[in-house]
Amino acid sequence: MTRMIRRATALAGAVAAAAALTGCGGGGDTVTIEPDDLALDVGSLLQTQVGADAPPALDCGTETLELGEGDTVVCGLSVDGDDGVYDTTVTISEISGTAYRFDAVVADAPR
């Protein structure tokens, strides 16, 4: 249990580097992203960044997201062994067709 809590602590305050990803669709200055896909992409990036054995679970909602550059989504991040849920702010930083880049910042403390 201590190991998992350390992982949550390692994620708290993390700032994920922008990563190129593929969205489900897009047109013009927006991209359509399914919330589960965004959660998986952000979780994978954070897992790599902190060297965790498994990605954190993220809940980015249930409705399809239509996002433009600079738009943000707040997802709830949780890990096994820690009852806390950490706000994770995901900001779309660049869109090119259906590809997009994002930055993610994990809150220092749980909700």
Please give the radius of gyration of the chain, using alpha carbons only, rounded to the nearest integer: 14
Say if residue 76's pLDDT is above 60.
yes
Token representation of residue 33 = 């992203």
pLDDT at site 99: 84
Give yes or no for a contact between 72 and 89, defined as CB atoms under 8 angstroms apart. Answer: yes
pLDDT tens sequence across 6-65: 445 455 555 554 554 445 555 568 999 999 999 999 999 888 887 888 899 999 999 999
Cβ atoms < 10 Å from Cβ of 15: 11
| Residue 82 predicted with pLDDT over 90 | no
CA distance linking residue 86 with residue 5, whole number of Å: 13
**Contact criterion met (CB below 8 Å) for 63 and 35:** yes
Q: Between 70 and 29, where is the model more confident?
A: 70
pLDDT for 27 equals: 52
Longest dimension (CA), the chain: 47
Q: In this model, does residue 3 exceed pLDDT 50? A: no
The CA-to-CA distance between both ends of the chain, in Å, stands at 20
